[in-house]
Amino acid sequence: MQSFIERLAQMTDPTHSAASAAGPDIPKRLVPPHVERLTPYKPGRPPADLMAELGLKKFINLASNENPLGPPQSALKAVAAASAAMNRYPESGGLQLRGALAERHRVKLDNVVLGAGSESIMANIIRAFLHGDDEALTSEGTFIGFYVLVNAQGVKLVQVPLKNYRFDLDGIARAINDRTKIIYLCNPNNPTGTIFTRGEFDAFVRRVPEHVLIILDEAYYEYCLGNPDFPDSMSYRYDNVLTLRTFSKAYGMAGLRLGYGLGHDYLIGYVNRIKLPFEPNSLAQAAGLAALADDEYLQRSLANNRQGMAMLASELDRLGLKRVPSHANCILVDMGSEERVNAITHSLLRHGVAIRALAPFGLPHCLRVTVGLPEENEAFVKALSASL
Ligand SMILES: Cc1ncc(COP(=O)(O)O)c(C=O)c1O
């Protein structure tokens, strides 16, 4: 086998081709089969690249379920103030933010865990509880991050088809077996925007054995505040339910990476054993504390979403497209075929609007558009009309 130094020499030698420099002789036994099967995350192309290539002056990103308002001013101020202490490690207990979250949700500090995004907490839960012959159970057509993390852990992933674009809780309950260790539910669901109701959730939980952990991903729960049908998991607690929430959506802080989990202290205790001690970073912790107190921003964020959602829904209807009623910050549109989705996605891109084609979610005939600012929604509708 070539040494690393030899390989490096070849790679930096301009006479050597990239293909041969990449080298096929890494020993296969180094890499476990479940890691070999993974495909790396494919990020969208940077907007600046696309703008240069397509000669665009403006680029509207409605592809990533981000908050179009920009971050809360309160969080920006808190980040500026906290950055003076950037030479220090973060306070590893995240005590202030956890305290504020515990107070907000009327739980104890030990019921709250923080992470660099809720996805990081999801990763820690999977590492803490899944191994060997364990199985993880969820739906098709839900958040891809969960599929990737389970596959990366090398355990079996069981997926039940969506029913009319909604989680089929009855089908999932029937799919539970002796090896089922974790069930992942996403409410509202990304990418469909659908919810399961209080009554449906209550009936489901009664069918889940106590030793099976339910991850309840409520990344979009703020968009359901005030919806009496929505089973806000913190309004009643089950010992085997771990709730995940995030500052990435309604609080407009996706780039800072901050999420939290709420659950029984014995579950949170195990997740904390796996968690890296210094996440989330100190700026994220400070921003989260400020954003949590900034109800004006949250209300503005929800109002923008409500208005944008109503406008997009009526325009999609006017264009005769088949959309799924949504409770999140995005709308799923069934275009009938993958070809049509690809054609529309490319055409919109040429108009400077990015939306998400849903083949990676297992819904190749569907696309997802995120609610933007009023002018962004209008630009999208205009570009969509032209593209159709
Ligand atoms: C359902 C769901 N869960 C989790 C996440 C990731 O959230 P975070 O930014 O907190 O890691 C997303 C992001 O799109 C999501 O849609």
Structural domains of the chain ordered from first start: 47-69+296-387 (3.90.1150.10), 73-293 (3.40.640.10)
Closest protein CA for atom 12 of ligand 1: 219
Digitized pLDDT (tens) for each residue of the chain, 388 residues in all: 444 445 544 444 444 444 444 455 666 778 888 888 888 777 777 888 888 888 888 999 999 999 999 999 999 999 999 999 999 999 989 999 999 999 999 999 999 999 999 999 999 999 999 999 999 999 999 999 999 999 999 999 999 999 999 999 999 999 999 999 999 999 999 999 999 999 999 999 999 999 999 999 999 999 999 999 999 888 877 899 999 999 999 999 999 999 999 999 999 999 999 999 999 999 999 999 999 999 999 999 999 999 999 999 999 999 999 999 999 999 999 999 999 999 999 999 999 999 999 999 999 999 999 999 999 999 999 999 999 9
User: How far is it, in rounded angstroms, from Cα 367 to Cα 342?
Assistant: 9
User: What pLDDT, on a 0 to 100 scale, did the predictor assign at position 330?
Assistant: 98
C-beta neighbour count of 280 within 10 angstroms: 25
138-170 burial, b for 16+ CB within 10 Å, e for fewer?
bbebbbebbbbbbbbbebebbbbebeebbbbbe
* Structure token digits, residue 113: 């865990």
Query: Is 367's C-beta closer than 6 angstroms to any atom of ligand 1?
Result: no
pLDDT of residue 135: 98
Residue bearing tokens 């080298």 = 23
How much is the pLDDT for 11?
46
DSSP character for 189?
P
Cβ distance 326 to 332 under 8 Å? yes
Q: Measuring from atom 6 of ligand 1, which residue has the nearest CA?
A: 119
The type of residue at 153 is Q
Q: Check pocket membership of 186 for ligand 1, CB cut-off 6 A.
A: yes
Asked if residue 233 has its Cβ within 6 Å of ligand 1, the reply is no
**Can you give the pLDDT at residue 229?**
95
How much is the pTM?
Answer: 0.92
Q: Ligand 1 pocket, 117 CB below 6 A?
A: yes
Are 215 and 88 in contact, with CB atoms under 8 Å apart?
no
Cα of 118 to ligand 1 centre, how many Å? 6
Whether the CB-CB separation of 233 and 241 falls below 8 Å is answered with yes
**Which atom, in ligand 1's list, is nearest to the CA of 254?**
9
Measured distance CA(347)–CA(142) in Å, rounded: 26
Query: Ligand 1: does its nearest atom lie under 6 Å from the Cβ of 139?
Result: no
